[in-house]
Each structure stands twice: as C-alpha cells, then as structure tokens.
Amino acid sequence: MSRVFMKGNEAIAEAAVRSGCRFFAGYPITPQNEIPEYLSRRLPDVGGVFVQGESEIASINMVYGAGQTGTRSMTSSSSCGISLKSEGVSFCAAARVPIVYCNMARGGPGIGTIQPAQQDYMQATKASGNGGFRMLVFAPSTVQEAADMTYAAFDYAQRDRNPVLILGDGVLGTIMEPVELPRMRSEEEVAQLKRELSDWTLIGHDPDKGRAFIKPGVWSTKGQEQMCKDNAALYDSWEKDVQVETIGLEDAQLVITGYGISGRIAASAVGKLRTEGLKVGFIRPKTVSPFPYGAYEVLDFHRVKCILDVEMAIPALMIYDVRLAVKDRCPIETCLHAGGEIMSREEIIEKARALLAK
Amino acid sequence: MEKNLMVAGFGGQGVMMMGKLLSYATCESTDLNVTFFPSYGAEQRGGTANCYVVISDEPIGAPLGDAMDDLVVMNGPSLNKFLYKLKPNGTLFINSSIVKDEIIRSDVRVVAVPVTEIALEMGNAKVLNIIMLGAYIGYTGALAEDLMMKTILHKLKKKQELIALNTDAFARGLAIGKAVRSEANA
C-alpha cells in the first residue's frame, strides 16, 4: 500500500470516513481544528453530514442523536472542550449509543495552554462524565496508530453500543508523518453496518412494534440497578481488548513507562539506552482503559529495581494505575512536563542513567 | 541514522512550507521515516514561526529531536533564540540579507545565503524559502535534487505560472549550497 504524508488530525478524520463515519458535529478549538476542517470538506463527498455546532454541548448532543439512528457518528475537541461534552458522553454511555470522540489534549486545568499535554488522563480513563460509566480509550502515539485506532474505534463502539475515546495530544494532532490509510469501506458495507443495528435504532416508525425509545436513564431504581449491572458486565468483558507495547522486559533492571506522545519519546530513549547495553525495558499502554495492569504485574521484581513513569502531566496521573499494578514491589520515579512543554528524549535518558547508577 | 532539522523565522517567510516540502519529498521519494512538527500558537504574519523535521531509517521517537544537525534561521530573533539547539559541528543556514547579528558560536559551520535579496532581485519576495531549500539540499545532499524538485513541481501543479520562478529559485539556492560545500571540502 502506498503511504501519504498527513497531519495526525487529518489522518484521524480520513480514517473515520473510511471506517464508515457519516456524521460529525464539532466546535473549533486548538489543537484539533484540522479534524472538523477536513471533515467539513470530506463528509459531503461521501453523502455524510458535517455540522459546526454553536457549542461543544450542542455538538455532542447532535452526535448523541445521530448515533441513535445507527449512523456512525463522531465529535472531537480538546481538553476544556471535552469537559463541556462530558454530559452528552455520559448520556451516550447511559443510553448505550455508539459514538466515537477524540480529545487532542492541551495544557490544563481550565483553559490551560493550547500546546500539547497529557493532563486529561483521569478524565479520559476514570470519569468522562457522571455516573461511573467506562469506555474503551485508545492512546495512539504515531499518526499511523491514530488512523488505525480511529478506524477500529467505530467497530468497537458498534460492537459494545458504547462511546469510544481516542486520547491524543497537540503533538499527535499537528505532527505530519507518512501513513498507510486503512481501506475505504464501500457504501454498501456502511449501509450494512447500519442495518445490523436496526433492532434498536430509531429510524422510522413501525406501528406493530409500539413506541421506540432510547433513554439516558431508567425511572425505576431496580431498573437502573439492572442497567448498571449490565454495563458492568460489558466493562468486565474488555480484558480481551487490552493493547500494550513492551520492549526488553526479559532482562530489564529499569522499566520506563509512558503512553501516547510521551510513550513514543520514551521508546526511542529506551532504544538508545539498550544499544549502549543498559538493561532498560519499556511498557506503553495502547489502551489506557482498560489499562494493561498485567504487563506490570508479571515483571520480575527481583530484577526490576525501579520503574520510571514518563508523562506530560504534573502531577503524574497514569502513575496511579502503575502503582495499582506494581503494588509497592519497587519504587516508581517520574520524568514529567506540563503546560505545553514537550518531553525531551535526552531528559529521559539522563534520568534513566541516574536511576541505573544508584 | 537520524537527522534533525529546525527551520525558524518570521510568519510569512514560508518557514513551514520549507520544512513541509522537504518532508513531503522524503515521504514520496524514499523509504525513510520522516516527521514534520510545526510550532503552533497565535501565528501571524510578522510573528515567529518554526518547525522541526526529523528524517531517519528507524522509527522516529522524538519529533523535536534533542539537538539539531542543521538549523535554518530566516530572521535575527530566531538566531538568538535557537542557536543553542545546534549540535557542535552542526550547520547553520542563515538568511544573510537580514540576519546581521554576530554568530557567537565558533563550533558550527555557517552557510550564509542572502535569500531575501535574491528573492527581491527575482521579483518575488515569497520565493525566499525555495532559495533556502535549494541551498540546504545543495549543501547537505539530504535528498537528491531531482526528487526535491519533483515534489515542488507537484505542489505547484495548479499554479503553472509559478513553476518557472520556483525552478529558478531552487536552482539559485542549489548553486550557492553546492559552492559552499565544495569550498568546505577543498
């Protein structure tokens, strides 16, 4: 397949279309603007609909509505804009409406900066809205992964009838790299995917079936409890969907860990350190929800002296999940940046050297 | 083998386009990995703009690199701001028409190209980035000149009237880059 040179945001947008996305609503915010910009041109070409909403809240609710028709639907934003969407995302999770959304994260809290950061880890993985729902959350570290994960995200959303989040950052959104785009699904395939959902989607009215409802809540307490149990059973089934990249864990004395852009920079630091013969391993969660606890749990802690957590977030956030897996069996050190300051490979290397020399 | 380049200057000087053209050509004409990472923020004409290009035969981890093999400086403020990023023995390409400050480092090679003057002489101030790209390719040989030119022509396919101007601009820069190279080799 031939490769094309694309911006992360544009590759995500194109991958969404190829996966069958035919509705997008969003509101401008840096650094994700190329997603709506691209789709505003691209979606009409394939018979889809692009709406620039009057706000983030309007946009997510349009996506909630479009998703109820079985149309593959998407929105995107960045950090503070994602916070605004959280009510709608929670409604999608409650009503079990499949949607895909994308957070190209920036500095925070609040308006923060418009430069790249990873301050939204907790929001993305633990509480993307009220009500204790969970989602599959993919954290791509290259433009290729961003395209592939977005393409797959629509299939996961449809499989589970649940929102799926792509968690990126300003680097991933704005960087350009060669990418091999996934296959374009034909109109017939996209139509068939929609038909597969026809037992619950709200398209047309069948007088023999009575009224059709999709509701983001249940009036009876027992009914709501049952819904929570059904959701929990879905979340428990995701162990099979965990994705993780590891390097050199078979001999590592120090394990460096990070996700997304930090993970990618850390991986290249690990590569450099290993060529010097240093016993450094690497774990990069590709799904941050569900988190790959198992990758840390199986480490030989007689050999692994320390874990170095690399994040563009202060305070460190993914570290809470790493701690859950490591269970105090070795110290966890950090290499951190925030506010739009981008991690440097050299800093990770220096920190790793210092830890190994201890 | 990894090569890191930073291009910096005023908004409007085609700083991003220079980095992008090199990246596009690398993607389209080689099997190498390449990343283009732009600064972004309150960009405006006359403000500052910079971008990073990394080219490698291995997967690229850090799109900003640690230190630059090559630094292209199109205006005075960028020299003072980014000179520290250049590796010892790295190459500094300056727009010598307007970058007049003293280059305080003696451990770098300097390729001075008066791109603003040449562009004005050619009758179009906008081609200064293509002249610099020519000088960069001529000096470093980072990419075959015909492959670079192929991408420039491809990007101009809807603006046929600009092809002659840009071809000339690239050739002017290329000649300067090659001349400095052969002096350095002599």
The answer to whether the Cβ–Cβ distance between A178 and B64 falls below 8 Å is no
Q: Residue B30's pLDDT is what?
A: 94
Domain ranges of chain A: 4-196+231-236, 243-357
Q: Residue A115's pLDDT is what?
A: 95
Hey, how many other C-beta atoms are within 10 angstroms of the C-beta on A350? 13
Average pLDDT over chain B, rounded to an integer: 94
Residue B31 has pLDDT above 90, yes or no: yes
Tell me what the mean pLDDT of segment B141-148 comes to: 96
- CATH number at B97 reads 3.40.920.10
Residue of chain B whose Cα is closest to the Cα of A31:
B40
Tell me what the mean pLDDT of segment A9-35 comes to: 98
Q: Does domain A4-196+231-236 have CATH number 3.40.50.970?
A: yes
- Which architecture, in CATH terms, is A243-357? 3-Layer(aba) Sandwich (3.40)
Decide: residue B42, CB within 10 A, 0-12 exposed, 13-18 middle, 19+ buried: exposed
* Cβ within 8 Å of B, A 128-147: 142
Residue A93 has pLDDT above 90, yes or no: yes
In one-letter notation, the amino acid at residue B124 is N
Report the sign of the C-alpha dihedral through residues A347, A349, A351, A353, in that order: negative
A99-136 per-position pLDDT tens digit: 999 999 999 999 999 999 999 999 999 999 999 999 99
The answer to whether the Cβ–Cβ distance between A344 and B24 falls below 8 Å is no
This complex has an ipTM of 0.94
Q: Residue B42's pLDDT is what?
A: 66
Label residue B44 by pLDDT band (50, 70, 90): low
- State whether residue A98 sits within 8 Å of chain B by CB: no
The bridge status of strand A49-52 relative to strand A176-179 is unpaired
B73-128 per-position pLDDT tens digit: 999 999 999 999 999 999 999 999 999 999 999 999 999 999 999 999 999 999 99
- State whether residue A171 sits within 8 Å of chain B by CB: yes
**Secondary structure letter of residue A162 according to DSSP:** S
Chain A residues touching residue B60 (CB < 8 angstroms): 177, 268
The answer to whether the Cβ–Cβ distance between B66 and A344 falls below 8 Å is yes
A187-233 per-position pLDDT tens digit: 999 999 999 999 899 987 777 877 778 899 898 999 999 999 999 99
Residue A345 has pLDDT above 80, yes or no: yes
Chain B residues touching residue A142 (CB < 8 angstroms): 59
A168: its two tokens: 């990126």
Q: Residue A204's pLDDT is what?
A: 78
Residue B66 has pLDDT above 90, yes or no: no
Q: Looking at the 3D structure of chain B, how many domains does it have?
A: 1
Tell me what the mean pLDDT of segment A55-60 comes to: 98
Decide: residue A353, CB within 10 A, 0-12 exposed, 13-18 middle, 19+ buried: middle
Residue A358 has pLDDT above 90, yes or no: no
d(CA B22, CA B19): 5
